């Protein structure tokens, strides 16, 4: 293993920042090409098409987020073996992870194509939006192998401390995605299915680049194609660590799907406006996501190496960076929400709904950041059940209960706005309580 990529030695600040910065830029480009679909569709196809793409976001993450959570667990295991300098188990865990990625790709393609039309109906998707939503989903999931394998292979690279090469590949795929959007939609006049095709194609491209890199590398995470198989002991470990993270992702997305169904009842203007806001909000959460991903690898490698005090120092520094950046950007979004929403669609009713949500939730971003960061710490420490349970009760049960009870007395879209900061308070409080009780010396088994 290349020692310069290991996070168990050297300056904590330099290691975390040098690892998180490429993650930040990668997440930025990923958000850019996801947003490109909405920007181009909203401006060249119309409000209904933008509503269709917006509805797709939560459902896609609910279906794919589960499998990606498994890869989070795999990354924790790989990083732990790397930190312990255990070459044999590192190689076994890498090839088992790739085998799982191929299996999940087949399952995701079948599930996505067959069941999403029924789910869209259950989500109260308006009839005038439904055909375009179904079209978007079927094309997207036909190419879901690219998305799943990209996340699988990037997880392996990041577990080894390499966040630079995934950034390079993501930049290239982002450019391809935007170029295809402009050619197929703006130039040739195709609809939302073309946006889904552009995204799927670019994801396949980036996955191929990641595979080539891992096949050619001379590190412990090198992939030998003939060695790709299921090691049942490793499968059990991956499921043990990854299943809670996968369920956590699905829980988060399920609650958002339920909230989306409430939003859908207010019509395509609310769907488009809030969908546009969510795209903008995604940029604000990039620092949180980047430092969270970095801290998971940092904690895993350092616990594997027995560096417990170093682990705690890294957590304190990473948390400060995540919270300060998230809240600063949240305040900026509060003041500039209107012009940003107008980039997607200039219709007054669409802009109204997007700005309305921004004015309520943006000042509470630090709480959301705290929850996500501490969840990443728990996963890196091998305690994925804790964040899973917190998200289940605070972000799913509590949110759905609040919406259901409130809707019995007053039917207002404001409930879908306030349910987020209310549950962020609950989840961040719970995470802090569990973190104070965490003993890193007892996390290796």
pLDDT value at position 85? 84
Provide the whole-model pTM. Answer: 0.73
pLDDT value at position 45? 63
Give 155-206 pLDDT, tens digit per residue. Answer: 898 888 887 888 888 888 888 888 887 888 777 877 777 877 888 888 899 9
Give 8-56 pLDDT, tens digit per residue. Answer: 888 888 888 888 888 888 777 777 766 766 667 666 566 666 666 665 5
pLDDT value at position 96? 93
pLDDT value at position 62? 66
> Which residues of the chain are under the pLDDT cut of 50?
1, 445
pLDDT value at position 188? 80
If one counts the domains in the chain, the total is: 1
* Cα–Cα dist 234/228, whole Å: 13
Q: What SS3 string covers the chain?
A: CCHHHCCCCCCHHHHHHHHHHHHHHHHHHHHHHHHHHHHHHHHHCCHHHHHHHHHHHHHHHHHHHHHHHHHHHHHHHHHHHHHCCCHHHHHHHHHHHHHHHHHHHHHHHHHHHHHHHHHHHHCCCCCCCHHHHHHHHHHHHHCHHHHHHHHHHHHHHHHCCCCHHHHHHHHHHHHHHHHHHHHHHHHCCCCHHHHHHHHHHHHHHHHHHHHHHHHHCCCCCCCCHHHCCCCHHHHHHHHHHHHHHHHHHHHHHHHHHHHHHHHHCCCHHHHHHHHHHHHHHHHHCHHHHHHHHHHHHHHHHHHHCCCHHHHHHHHHHHHHHHHHHHHHHHHHHHHHHHHHHHCCCCCHHHHHHHHHHHHHHHHHHHHHHHHHHHHHHHHHCCCCHHHHHHHHHHHHHHHHHHHHHHHHHCCCCHHHHHHHHHHHHHHHHHHHHHHHCCCHHHCCC
pLDDT value at position 130? 72
pLDDT value at position 424? 95
* Cα–Cα dist 75/90, whole Å: 10
pLDDT value at position 134? 78
Q: What is the residue range of 62's domain? A: 3-442
Residue partners of 419: CB distance under 8 A and separation at least 6: 259, 399, 402, 403
């Amino acid at each position: 293993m290349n020692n310069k990529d290991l996070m168990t030695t050297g300056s904590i600040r330099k290691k975390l920042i040098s690892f998180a910065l490429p993650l930040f830029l990668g997440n930025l480009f990923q958000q850019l090409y996801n947003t490109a679909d909405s920007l181009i569709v909203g401006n060249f196809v119309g409000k209904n098409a933008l509503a269709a793409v917006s509805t797709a976001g939560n459902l896609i993450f609910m279906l794919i987020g589960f499998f990606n959570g498994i890869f989070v667990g795999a990354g924790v295991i790989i990083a732990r073996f790397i930190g312990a300098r255990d070459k044999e188990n590192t190689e076994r865990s890498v090839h088992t992870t790739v085998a799982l990625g191929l299996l999940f790709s087949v399952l995701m393609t079948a599930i996505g194509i067959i069941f999403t039309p029924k789910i869209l109906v259950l989500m109260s998707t308006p009839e005038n939006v439904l055909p375009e939503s179904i079209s978007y989903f079927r094309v997207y999931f036909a190419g879901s192998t690219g998305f799943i394998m990209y996340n699988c292979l990037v997880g392996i690279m990041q577990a080894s401390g390499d966040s630079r090469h995934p950034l390079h590949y993501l930049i290239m795929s982002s450019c391809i995605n935007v170029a295809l959007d402009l050619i197929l939609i703006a130039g040739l006049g195709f609809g939302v299915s073309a946006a889904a095709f552009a995204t799927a194609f670019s994801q396949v491209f980036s996955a191929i680049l990641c595979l080539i890199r891992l096949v050619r590398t001379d590190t412990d995470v090198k992939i030998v194609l003939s060695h790709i198989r299921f090691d049942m002991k490793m499968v059990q470990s991956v499921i043990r660590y990854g299943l809670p993270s996968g369920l956590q992702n699905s829980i988060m997305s399920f609650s958002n799907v339920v909230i989306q169904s409430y939003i859908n009842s207010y019509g395509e203007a609310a769907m488009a406006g809030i969908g546009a806001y969510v795209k903008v909000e995604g940029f604000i959460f990039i620092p949180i996501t980047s430092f969270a991903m970095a801290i998971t690898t940092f904690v895993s490698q350092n616990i594997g190496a027995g560096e417990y005090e170093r682990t705690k120092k890294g957590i304190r520094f990473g948390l400060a960076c995540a919270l300060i950046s998230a809240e600063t950007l949240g305040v900026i979004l509060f003041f500039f929400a209107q012009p940003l929403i107008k980039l997607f669609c200039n219709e007054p009713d669409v802009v109204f709904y997007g700005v309305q949500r921004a004015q309520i939730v943006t000042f509470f971003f630090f709480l959301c950041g705290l929850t996500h960061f501490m969840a990443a710490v728990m996963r890196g420490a091998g305690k994925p059940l804790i964040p899973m349970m917190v998200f289940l009760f605070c972000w799913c049960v509590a949110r759905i209960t609040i919406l259901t009870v409130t809707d019995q007395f007053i039917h207002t879209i404001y409930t879908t706005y306030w349910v987020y900061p209310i549950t962020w308070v609950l989840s961040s409080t719970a995470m802090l309580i569990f973190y104070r009780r965490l003993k890193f010396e007892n996390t290796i088994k």
